[in-house]
C-alpha cells in the first residue's frame, strides 16, 4: 500500500496540471434563413411526398440518384434543395 500512494499522488498531480484537449465541431448555420411562411421563402415541409413537391414547386433543376439505406434523394431547385427519405421530405435547405 505504501508503494501505491506515491503513484496515486503523481497520477493525481498529472491529471490536475494537464491541459484539457477537445475537438471542436463547427457547424455552418444560416442565421437569417427565410422562414417557411408567406412572408419568407416557401419550400416543401417534412412529410410531403415527391409527387406533391413536384405538383407545388414544379420540376427540379437537378435530381440526385437515391443513395444508401434508407434511400436518400436530393432535388435541387433554384433557391433551395429538398432531401427525401424514400419518397417523403425530411428536410429542405435554403441556398446561400
**Peptide bond just before 62 cis, omega within 30 deg:** no
C-beta separation of 85 from 44 below 8 A: no
User: Exposed (0-12), middle (13-18) or buried (19+): which is 43, by Cβ within 10 Å?
Assistant: buried
- pLDDT tens for residues 62-88? 999 999 999 999 999 999 999 999 999
- pLDDT tens for residues 28-59? 444 555 666 555 788 999 999 999 999 999 99
The residue ranges of every structural domain in the chain are: 43-96
Alpha-carbon distance of 56 to 48, in angstroms, equals 10
Amino acid at each position: 500500500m505504501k508503494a501505491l500512494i506515491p503513484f496515486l499522488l503523481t497520477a493525481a498531480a498529472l491529471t490536475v496540471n494537464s491541459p484539457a484537449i477537445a475537438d471542436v465541431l463547427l457547424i455552418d448555420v444560416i442565421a437569417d434563413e427565410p422562414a417557411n411562411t408567406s412572408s419568407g421563402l416557401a419550400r416543401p415541409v417534412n412529410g410531403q411526398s415527391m409527387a406533391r413537391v413536384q405538383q407545388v414547386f414544379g420540376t427540379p433543376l437537378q435530381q440526385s440518384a437515391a443513395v444508401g439505406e434508407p434511400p436518400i434523394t436530393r432535388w435541387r431547385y433554384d433557391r433551395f434543395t429538398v432531401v427525401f427519405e424514400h419518397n417523403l421530405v425530411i428536410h429542405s435547405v435554403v441556398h446561400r
